[in-house]
Amino acid sequence: MKHLVRICLLTAAVVAAIVLCPQQSVRADSPESPSDVVNAAFGALFQLDIENYAGYMHPEALSRLKAMLWPAVVAKPTGDTANTASALVQLLALEVVDDAPVDISPPEFFVKLMSALMRISPDLRESMKLSKHEVLGEVAENDSLVHCVLRVSVTEGEKTGTKVELITVKRSEDGWKLMLSTDLEAAAARLGRVNKK
């Protein structure tokens, strides 16, 4: 069951953070409806295809995530947080020039962040592989914002855990793209404040 908790936490955070790279074009086989996008995005995520998953993120979501976390990455470490910034630079495998991390695009940042999470948590990776998902329906808030209901199930041995989540998708120039979840935004905001204390 701890796998279900981990997958649910990551799913909530990542789902809300899903944003498409602005420079990436929509493929001919790209999903058309919000439900199709959510289904394809989580299919990629649960196959650990982070770069493909990032392609379903909305550009606004990717930019917001980077804006919240980048200050912690580039902060000059002091006092209690002396090792936090350098640890984040190492975790994200960022290039460093003149003792400062080289700036990267929001989509690149997202891929590095998600890849780092998968690298440091073998249990999370395993939970993702064991996950199944199903879009149960969608509710349009307006012409450009839709909320999809997603059921995620994780079966481990004879135990199955299920969680239902609300995934927000927003229309972009390239079609429907996933937005950041409130859980992910809150976690990113907390981490972004670490070096500001």
Sketch the domain layout of the chain as residue ranges: 2-196
Q: Which CATH class is domain 2-196?
A: alpha beta
Q: How much is the average pLDDT of 109-129?
A: 88
What is the chain's alpha carbon radius of gyration, rounded to the nearest angstrom? 17
pLDDT of the residue at 23: 29
Residues 6+ apart with CB under 8 A from 90: none
Query: In 3D, which of 181, 187, 149, 130 has the Cα closest to residue 3?
Result: 130
pLDDT in tens, 22-61: 223 333 345 589 999 999 999 999 999 999 999 999 999 9
pLDDT higher than 90, residue 20: no
Angle at 164 between CA 36 and CA 31, to 5 degrees: 5
* Percent of the chain residues past pLDDT 70, beyond the cut: 76
Could you tell me which residue, 77 or 50, shows the higher pLDDT?
50
How far, in Å, are 24, 25, 42, 84, 101 from residue 181 at the CA level? 22, 24, 14, 24, 27
